[in-house]
Chain A
């Protein structure tokens, strides 16, 4: 990042412009392909077949689109699915912001205390209502908070020990599972139940969305939110130290200009020293 500023018009800048156009084209093509696959194919995690089991041991019926499946211990929920991994960890995939008690129960079964609040569209919790903190993840890093948004399952939460994570990582390294499978096995947050202190808990809140300001971030000022016919949602994930006050529902702040939103995001990211996990790329080091 020590690259010195160059005058606007030279070979390097011209080449950058051309290459960015090339990358943008590929990105658009990849997005189209993903959208097609999402509408025609079963989600990647179903391909694993024998590895998949539900929290309550209920057999999974073949679901054509599988945007929502039954899950939970006895209680039936269309909102999320719990996938048990070989090593004993679980991956919870949240398809829609519903059934907060069910999700809390699923997390509790995996060893994670949580408070989950799902709100109507356009609403948010008045913050602050808890003392933010950080917890160790199974990948060996730590996480404070993050926002996950998009079509379901925008939020996937892995719960496994560092050892279980390492096993999956090694399978991936050996080439036994693909990068996609690796990503879908671990969730975009992967918590280690032993990494949470006695007074720590997970706080999740969110709403169907996108909220007005989020749609600006996602699409720019005009574009429609078309990725998922079912609509998406936005979920905030945080780690609390000590008690968590109940969510007081307030209207989400109105969206500003794209530049303004970018500025806010960047400020927040800088404040939190954010760990911006990219779902597409396995994070963590060479070997955990």
Chain B
């Protein structure tokens, strides 16, 4: 029993309900996040809060709609999987979810087999119909510029690139991005500064300035 991951101790059904009330009012906060893996109502609130941001996150990196749908699904499943281990000091729910999204997208293709051998994994791509496909394609097109920028960042060191991605492309605040990337905020600030400087030089030498790299404190 000791070796099991720490699950939330059984909250009474009433306190669960009160958590749902609180979540509806204020969104799923750090207090309720550990429940998203076991309480469908709280999960729903969490999902509605973040599904659009997660999809945007995915289509900025992936140009294929089936894969985007799969990855969106994988990200929420991974969030459900790891919710019981959530600790507030790892960041607020949003950066926590972006941290998961980063890991899932980075491990795309590798982790599916490893994580749940023999178990039928829910596939997002199978849930798409024609309307969805068109809608998702629009989003993917809209994100094309981001993916260009993304490629322009290829030459940056990994950690600098990560922090710039999260701030410039995903529009997280520096603090949120640092939490999502698992960096100290001060370190993240230095890396962000370096990354912007390098990228600016890079973009200037290619004679076009297609994208404004937002200055943000």
List B contacts of A20 (CB < 8 A): 40, 43-44
User: How near does chain A come to B16, taking the closest CB pair, in angstroms?
Assistant: 8
Is A18's CB under 8 angstroms from B122's CB?
A: yes
Residue of B13, B22, B55, B122 with most partner-chain A CB within 10 A: B13
List A contacts of B189 (CB < 8 A): none
> Any chain A CB within 8 A of the CB of B199?
no
Is B10's CB under 8 angstroms from A34's CB?
A: yes
Q: Which of A246-288 contact B (CB under 8 A)?
A: 262, 265-266, 269-270, 274-287
Residue of A nearest to B122 (CB): A18
Q: Mark B25-54, 1 if CB is under 8 A from A, else 0.
A: 101001111111111100110011101100
> Any chain B CB within 8 A of the CB of A14?
yes
List A contacts of B9 (CB < 8 A): 34, 44, 180, 183-184, 279-280
Known pairs A265-B17, A278-B35, A281-B33; A19 contacts B76 (CB<8 A): yes
Is A26's CB under 8 angstroms from B18's CB?
A: no
Residue of A nearest to B179 (CB): A286
Main secondary structure of the interface of B (DSSP, over half): helix
> Any chain B CB within 8 A of the CB of A16?
yes
List A contacts of B43 (CB < 8 A): 19-20, 23
> Any chain B CB within 8 A of the CB of A131?
no
Which of A16, A146, A282 meets B18, CB within 8 Å?
Answer: A146
> Any chain A CB within 8 A of the CB of B213?
no
List B contacts of A178 (CB < 8 A): 6
CA–CA, A184 and B30, complex, Å: 18
Q: Which of A73-81, A114-122, A147-155, A191-199 contacts B (4 or more CB under 8 A)?
A: A147-155
List B contacts of A184 (CB < 8 A): 9
Q: Which of B77-93 contact A (CB under 8 A)?
A: 77, 80, 86-89
The size of the chain B interface, using a CB distance under 8 A, is 59
Q: Mark A1-29, 1 if CB is under 8 A from B, else 0.
A: 10100000011101110111111101100
Known pairs A19-B122, A282-B87; A188 contacts B15 (CB<8 A): yes
List B contacts of A275 (CB < 8 A): 22
List B contacts of A151 (CB < 8 A): 12
Is B38's CB under 8 angstroms from A214's CB?
A: no
> Any chain A CB within 8 A of the CB of B162?
no
Known pairs A19-B122, A37-B1, A262-B17; A180 contacts B6 (CB<8 A): yes
> Any chain A CB within 8 A of the CB of B73?
yes
**Sample of 12 further A-B pairs with CB below 8 A, known A173-B89, A180-B6:** A11-B124, A15-B51, A26-B38, A147-B14, A149-B13, A149-B14, A265-B18, A276-B15, A276-B31, A278-B15, A278-B16, A284-B88
Known pairs A1-B27, A11-B128, A30-B38; A269 contacts B13 (CB<8 A): no
Main secondary structure of the interface of A (DSSP, over half): helix
Q: Could you write out 22 A-B pairs with CB less than 8 Å apart?
A: A10-B132, A11-B128, A15-B73, A15-B124, A16-B44, A22-B122, A23-B37, A26-B80, A47-B2, A150-B15, A179-B8, A217-B13, A217-B17, A269-B21, A276-B31, A277-B15, A278-B32, A279-B8, A279-B10, A279-B11, A281-B34, A285-B88
> Any chain A CB within 8 A of the CB of B146?
no
Which of B11, B27, B127 meets A18, CB within 8 Å?
Answer: B127
User: How near does chain A come to B202, taking the closest CB pair, in angstroms?
Assistant: 35
Residue of B nearest to A24 (CB): B40
> Any chain B CB within 8 A of the CB of A41?
yes
CA–CA, A33 and B80, complex, Å: 18
> Any chain A CB within 8 A of the CB of B209?
no
Is A281's CB under 8 angstroms from B30's CB?
A: yes
Residue of B nearest to A19 (CB): B76
Known pairs A15-B72, A22-B80, A34-B10; A10 contacts B35 (CB<8 A): no
Residue of A nearest to B125 (CB): A11
Residue of B nearest to A281 (CB): B34
Is A276's CB under 8 angstroms from B22's CB?
A: yes
List A contacts of B38 (CB < 8 A): 23, 26-27, 30-31
Q: Mark B122-140, 1 if CB is under 8 A from A, else 0.
A: 1010011101100110000
Is A286's CB under 8 angstroms from B11's CB?
A: no
Known pairs A146-B18, A150-B12, A183-B9; A280 contacts B30 (CB<8 A): no
